[in-house]
Amino acid sequence: MKNTKELRTWLDDMNLPHPLVIAGPCSAETEEQVLKIAHELKDSDVNYFRAGIWKPRTRPGNFEGVGALGLKWLQKVKEETGMKTCTEVANAAHVKLALEYDVDLLWIGARSTVSPFIMQEIADALQGTDKIVLVKNPVNPDLALWLGGIERLYTAGIKNLGAIHRGFSTYEKSKYRNIPEWQLAIEFQNKFPDLPLICDPSHITGNREMIQEVSQTALDLNFDGLMIETHFDPENAWSDAAQQVTPTTLKQIMEDLKIKKETETAVSYREPLESLRAQINVVDDQLIDLLGKRMKVADQIGQLKKDQNVAVLQSRRWNEILGNMVLEGSNRGLSEEFVLKMFKAIHQESINHQEKIINA
């Protein structure tokens, strides 16, 4: 996976004025529940409506999702609200059904990313699809495993790719449900700066009170979007009740988030910055050139001193130089401390040059 620029065309093509927003319930529960939430999210910043159809649960006996039946409800969401839809797929059968029902975006859950067997099965089933596929990080903080999963999809010809950061499970007690380990996400961005990266503050926090704060951190770290679990009655949700927010709260969160407008800053910030940096480069070249010239003169002085058998260090002359330069520096807005430090370094290098000649 080398040229990652093409991986973000799907996101760039959407030309969004804000980060990508995916919202909707953790699980599709009933047709009414799905449609009610979808209609409440219709006139908001939400780009994709999410709902889990097949739910991976830590222990058996909990609600495990409504299954393929829910795909019909997602189709209704699309017809009635115009919102695009997405769901989690965890095996080849899920992929087949989701493609059949024309789900627009598929994501792979944290419990699937940990298994190279499952990732390969999903990649094979998705072979060549133009659907958007997002890969959640594995439950354990293993960057290679996360990248490996994405690479399996890329190799299967899936080009509309992205990643979702949902935090990592830990044995240690923490205020988070899954600790964010932000440095891992930063490392991920450094390796693949063009691969869209979405944050899932719902599964990181496990607690709706912290969604705003974690979302803001993600945006400050240049994440491309957010996936936030949303339900009209969070307390009574059939899964992840503590972390879901109402559609009203979601809209408030989006309003309160400080969003950096990339496109606006691109013109007013990047262009002059680039030109100023070019100017700095020119002056730096001149500085190095002048310092080189100064040392060549020092070499000649060294040769003279050698011929005349004179000591290298001559304090009176040196104090004279320092006094003059501090004065000249202050005329140019340079602090005395800086001028002294810089000229001491230059003087030391000068002495080294002269000594090399004298001792040659």
- Please report, as ranges, the residues that interact with ligand PEP according to CB under 6 A: 26, 52, 56, 88, 109-111, 136, 166, 203
* Residues 7-46, mask of contacts with Mn ion (x by CB under 5 A): -------------------x--------------------
* Residue 110 contact, options ligand PEP, Mn ion, none, Cβ 5-8 Å cut-off depending on partner type: ligand PEP
Q: Which of 104, 83, 108, 77 is nearest to 94 (CA)?
A: 108
CB of 81 to ligand PEP, least distance (A): 20
SS3 68: coil
- Rounded to the nearest angstrom, the gap between the alpha carbon of residue 161 and the centroid of all alpha carbons in its chain is 15
Near Mn ion by CB under 5 A, which window of 57-65, 170-178, 239-247, 349-357?
A: 239-247
Task: Please state, as a whole number, how many other Cβ atoms lie within 10 Å of the Cβ of residue 241.
Answer: 15
* Residue 67 contact, options Mn ion, ligand PEP, none, Cβ 5-8 Å cut-off depending on partner type: none
312 near 348, Cβ under 8 Å?
Answer: no
Residues 6+ apart with CB under 8 A from 220: 258
Give the pair of three-digit tokens for residue 319.
Answer: 């104090």
The number of C-alpha atoms within 13 Å of 87 and in the hemisphere containing its C-beta is 33
CB of 345 to ligand PEP, least distance (A): 54
Verify binding: residue 240, Mn ion, rule CB under 5 A. Answer: yes
184 near 141, Cβ under 8 Å?
Answer: yes
**Which of residues 113 and 129 has its CB atom nearest to ligand PEP in the complex?**
113
Q: Which of 195, 72, 192, 187 is nearest to 132 (CA)?
A: 195
Residues 6+ apart with CB under 8 A from 318: 347
* Residue 165 contact, options ligand PEP, Mn ion, none, Cβ 5-8 Å cut-off depending on partner type: none
Q: How many chain residues bind Mn ion (CB under 5 A)?
A: 2
* Residue 218 contact, options Mn ion, ligand PEP, none, Cβ 5-8 Å cut-off depending on partner type: none
CB of 267 to ligand PEP, least distance (A): 37
CB of 176 to ligand PEP, least distance (A): 13
Task: Please state, as a whole number, how many other Cβ atoms lie within 10 Å of the Cβ of residue 23.
Answer: 29
Cα angle 57, 58, 63 (rounded to 5 degrees) comes to: 30
DSSP class of 256: H
**Which of residues 110 and 211 has its CB atom nearest to ligand PEP in the complex?**
110
CB of 57 to Mn ion, least distance (A): 10
* Residues 184-223, mask of contacts with Mn ion (x by CB under 5 A): ----------------------------------------
49 near 83, Cβ under 8 Å?
Answer: yes
Q: Number of H helices and number of E strands within the chain? A: 15, 8
Cα–Cα distance for residue pair 119/137, rounded to 1 Å = 12
Verify binding: residue 132, Mn ion, rule CB under 5 A. Answer: no
Residue 136 β-bridge partners: 164
Residue number of the CB closest to ligand PEP reads 109
CB of 129 to ligand PEP, least distance (A): 20
Near Mn ion by CB under 5 A, which window of 4-12, 85-93, 233-241, 244-252?
A: 233-241
SS3 7: helix
**Which of residues 163 and 195 has its CB atom nearest to ligand PEP in the complex?**
163
Residues 6+ apart with CB under 8 A from 102: 75, 78
CB of 112 to ligand PEP, least distance (A): 7
**Which of residues 84 and 136 has its CB atom nearest to ligand PEP in the complex?**
136
CB of 88 to Mn ion, least distance (A): 9
**Which of residues 29 and 240 has its CB atom nearest to Mn ion in the complex?**
240
Residue with tokens 């409800």: 73
Binding residues (CB under 5 A) for Mn ion: these are 26, 240
